[in-house]
Amino acid sequence: MKFANSPLLSQRLPSWRSRLLLLCILAGFAVLAGWSIYLQGFNSAFLQEKGAQRYSRVIELPATRGRILDRNGQVLAVSTPVKSIWAIPEDAKLQPAQVNQLAKLLEMEPREVDRKLADSHDFVYLKRQIPPDVAARILALDLPGIHDQTEYRRYYPTGDVTAHILGFTGAGDVGLEGVELAYQSVLAGKSGSRRVIKDRRGDVVEDVDSIRPPRDGKDVVLALDDRIQYLAYANLRRAVIDNKAKAGSIVVLDARTGEVLALANMPTYNPNNRTRLTGAQLRNRALTDTFEPGSTMKPFTIALALDKGKFRFDSRIQTAPGWFTIGTATIHDSEPHGILTVAQVIQKSSNIGAAKIALTLPPEEMWHNFERLGFGHPLNLGFPGEVGGRVRPYQHWRPIEQATMAYGNGISVTLMQLAHAYLVFARNGDLIPLSLTKLDSPPLFGKQIFTEQTAHEVRAMLEMVEEPGGTAPKARVAGYLVAGKTGTAHKVEGGIYVNRYVASYVGFAPATDPRLVIAVMINEPSAGSYYGGDVAAPVFAKVMAGSLRDLGVAPDEPPQSLQALGQNAPAVKEGT
Amino acid sequence: MLRANLILILFVVASALGTVTSNYRARRLFTALEQAQVRMHSLDVEWGQLQLEQSTWAAPARVEKIARDQLHMKQPAADQVITVEDAK
């Protein structure tokens, strides 16, 4: 039978049945439409977020802190990832044998591991900052509840040799001292992040939007020369120990560029292991401690007097009978010298000679001279705790004060300021600023302080100091002409001069064309001699000899005088 | 008409397969890039550690100690030094 002939077709159904069906279908569509409006209109943000969470992740991109390099590219400080081992004690149900294995790798006592695991329920560090290969071996044991975490740690391969100049970083790789603090904004990196799609196995499949690239910290190239730094540190250390001194500092400057080639202090510390640090070890004394420099200040006042035309190189000054009264106070030379030329006042370090020269100068000019040489205000190298020393305003100077300031009493300076000021004699009377970082184009000329002629005359006087009959024959360096000045100052405690001393020596070489300025300060030498010429000058000589050899500077001393080295000539005691 | 439709369907299928392949290849390349970047980072880290190691071995204090104690070297005295001028 054909479908068209079916009798069912001719049978009429009640019309409400088809309408009811239509209505049901329409209602079903309405519900679907309503639901989709609800999901996509009102709830979409929440749902999209939930969806994204199932496949996309934000990955933190760590940035590394910049390195610190010396001028020859030697690495002085570098950050490298290390692992910290932590545990969830609740999960870490270990057999005694496993604990022993773990403790051995961590270099800890098994009992200590057990104690740490008993400390807390959910999280405990077993050991922080261990080498990555050790961590890998620990994880290879596959112990339950033991995990690792990557952290960055700063290493200083040169250790205590460069401790004060580099400083160190604290938690989170933030600089706390020294160059690490001074150049924090350059060295610090900025971590970035990226949003990615990960597949079922956890591999990254695709980058989604919003990539913030990490910015690694920049490297800092210091002016420091690590060989000269080592020479300076090793010889300072030896001198401080041999002289049973309380402390000491040394600074080496490049006379041509003003770069700081070395800076060391004693006592020091190892920046890689900073447990049990004392404040005394931390002090960057060359920059933060001021002292009364004593006779090392004499050349500045004498240079001023020469510059003003008050005296000549060979003007004669009566220093007999070895004492000199100004008002109610009397000053002394350590031994009477009689009539001295200006040059001999420097050579024999006569206080009376320096005082008499100073009293011919107006206080204002003397004060202005100190200011221009950089005394009285900080050098602003960016180090924490840098100080400027003290030069009192000239309006209140009494004559005795003016006289004593000429030989470095009643004025306080840092060793770095003193070394900096000596650049005027090592150069042609001009002063250039100091630099901690390596300079690509060092300044050729600085601020002119003294005339070129004056600078050369004072340089010749400073050369006489190292000759027999001067205060520092021990500062001589075989093969080179050396110029410099000793200082031996009483320490001031509670406003009174006491019988403890600061021995210092500032000098430069080769005198015919100076390359290096070295300043040495030894605080409270107490193993016999306390004179700058005996205590500080030998340190200068050793460091200068080694550094000039390292730099390959040609000797400038005439060969015939090589045999006549005055090492054993009696040194003249300087005024203290 | 039918033939034109068949050809169009063929094109559609071909381009769909092309999309799938290129997407697959893009992901493969991306994974390779990802691995290369991870390797770059780990090499960077290793470089830093090697620099550290080099600096430690080459520390002047260590070099001096070995030169003096093991190799029995010493500094020449001033009269043993001959200065050679640069022949420029």
pLDDT tens track for A4-62: 788 777 777 788 888 999 999 999 999 999 999 998 888 888 888 887 777 777 777 77
Residue A567: per-residue pLDDT = 46
Chain A residues close to B61, C-beta within 8 Å: 161, 230, 234
pLDDT tens track for A102-145: 888 888 888 888 888 877 767 788 887 787 788 888 888 888 87
In sequence order, the 6+-apart residues with CB closer than 8 A to the CB of A379 are: A287, A386, A388, A414, A416, A417, A420, A434
CB-closest option in B27, B55, B77 to A157: B55
Residue B41: per-residue pLDDT = 84
Looking at every residue in chain A, the average pLDDT score rounds to: 85
A207-227 average pLDDT score: 84
Q: Could you give the CA distance from residue A133 to residue A96 in angstroms, rounded to a whole number?
A: 24
Helix residue ranges per DSSP H, B1-88: 2-57, 60-65
3-state secondary structure of A116: helix
Tell me if A388 sits within 8 A of A376, measured CB to CB: yes
* Residue A6: Cβ-neighbour burial (10 angstroms; 0-12, 13-18, 19+): exposed
Q: Could you give the CA distance from residue A105 to residue A133 in angstroms, rounded to a whole number?
A: 11
The closest alpha carbon to A246, from A547, A523, A46, A532, belongs to A523
Q: A140 — phi, psi (to 5°)?
A: -65, -20
Q: What is the extent of the structural domain holding B54?
A: 2-76
Q: Which residues pair with A493 in a beta bridge?
A: A496
Structure-token pair, residue A352? 């009376």
Q: Could you give the CA distance from residue A144 to residue A148 in angstroms, rounded to a whole number?
A: 12
Q: A254 — phi, psi (to 5°)?
A: -85, 115
- Closest residue of A to B85, CA-based? A554
Polymer length in residues for chain A: 576
Residue B31 covered by a domain? yes
Residue B29 covered by a domain? yes
pLDDT at A261 over 70: yes
Tell me if A244 sits within 8 A of A526, measured CB to CB: yes
Interface predicted TM-score (ipTM) of this complex, two decimals: 0.74
Q: A152 — phi, psi (to 5°)?
A: -105, 140
Chain A residues close to B81, C-beta within 8 Å: 479, 555
Question: Is A161 in CB contact (< 8 Å) with chain B?
Answer: yes
CB-closest option in B30, B31, B51 to A75: B51
pLDDT tens track for A155-177: 888 888 998 989 888 877 788 88
| B42 min Cα distance to partner chain A (Å) | 10
Residue A563: per-residue pLDDT = 45
| Domains of chain A from N-terminus onward | 60-221 (3.90.1310.10), 226-269+283-559 (3.40.710.10)
| Maximum Cα–Cα distance across chain B | 108
> What percent of chain A is predicted at pLDDT more than 90?
28
> How many Cα atoms are found within 13 Å in the side-chain-facing hemisphere of A16?
0
- pLDDT band, residue A382 (cuts 50/70/90): confident
Helix residue ranges per DSSP H, A373-472: 399-406, 415-421, 423-426, 452-464
A to B CB pairs, distance under 8 Å: 61
Residue B84 covered by a domain? no
Q: Could you give the CA distance from residue A483 to residue A506 in angstroms, rounded to a whole number?
A: 9
Residue B15: per-residue pLDDT = 96
Residue B55 covered by a domain? yes
For testing contact with chain A, the best of B29, B33, B52, B74 (most A CBs within 10 A): B52
Chain A residues close to B76, C-beta within 8 Å: none
Residue A562: per-residue pLDDT = 45
Q: Could you give the CA distance from residue A218 to residue A202 in angstroms, rounded to a whole number?
A: 33
Residue B83 covered by a domain? no
Residue B85 covered by a domain? no
Neighbours of A266 (CB within 10 A): 24
pLDDT tens track for A69-99: 999 888 898 888 888 888 887 777 778 888 8
Tell me if A244 sits within 8 A of A137, measured CB to CB: no
| B83 min Cα distance to partner chain A (Å) | 7
Chain B residues close to A67, C-beta within 8 Å: 48, 51
Looking at every residue in chain B, the average pLDDT score rounds to: 87
- Look up A295 and say whether it is catalytic: yes
- Closest residue of B to A63, CA-based? B41
Q: Could you give the CA distance from residue A359 to residue A406 in angstroms, rounded to a whole number?
A: 9
Q: Could you give the CA distance from residue A173 to residue A187 in angstroms, rounded to a whole number?
A: 10
B59-81 average pLDDT score: 85
Residue B86 covered by a domain? no
Q: A245 — phi, psi (to 5°)?
A: -85, 160
Tell me if A523 sits within 8 A of A246, measured CB to CB: yes
Residue A278: per-residue pLDDT = 80
Write the secondary structure of A271-292 as one string of H (helix), E (strand) and C (coil): CCCCCCCCHHHHCCHHHHCCEC
In sequence order, the 6+-apart residues with CB closer than 8 A to the CB of B12 are: none
A536-541 average pLDDT score: 93
Structure-token pair, residue A492? 């001031």
CB-closest option in A76, A80, A204 to B48: A80
pTM of the shown model:
0.80
User: A-contacting residues of B 54-83, CB under 8 Å?
Assistant: 54-56, 58-61, 64, 77-79, 81, 83
Amino acid letter, residue A346: I
Q: Could you give the CA distance from residue A29 to residue A418 in angstroms, rounded to a whole number?
A: 92
The closest alpha carbon to A166, from B58, B55, B57, B44, belongs to B55
Number of domains in chain B: 1
Residue A170: per-residue pLDDT = 81
Question: Is B30 in CB contact (< 8 Å) with chain A?
Answer: yes
- pLDDT band, residue A209 (cuts 50/70/90): low
Q: Verify whether the Cβ–Cβ distance A203 to B31 is below 8 Å.
A: yes
- pLDDT band, residue A576 (cuts 50/70/90): low
| A184 min Cα distance to partner chain B (Å) | 20
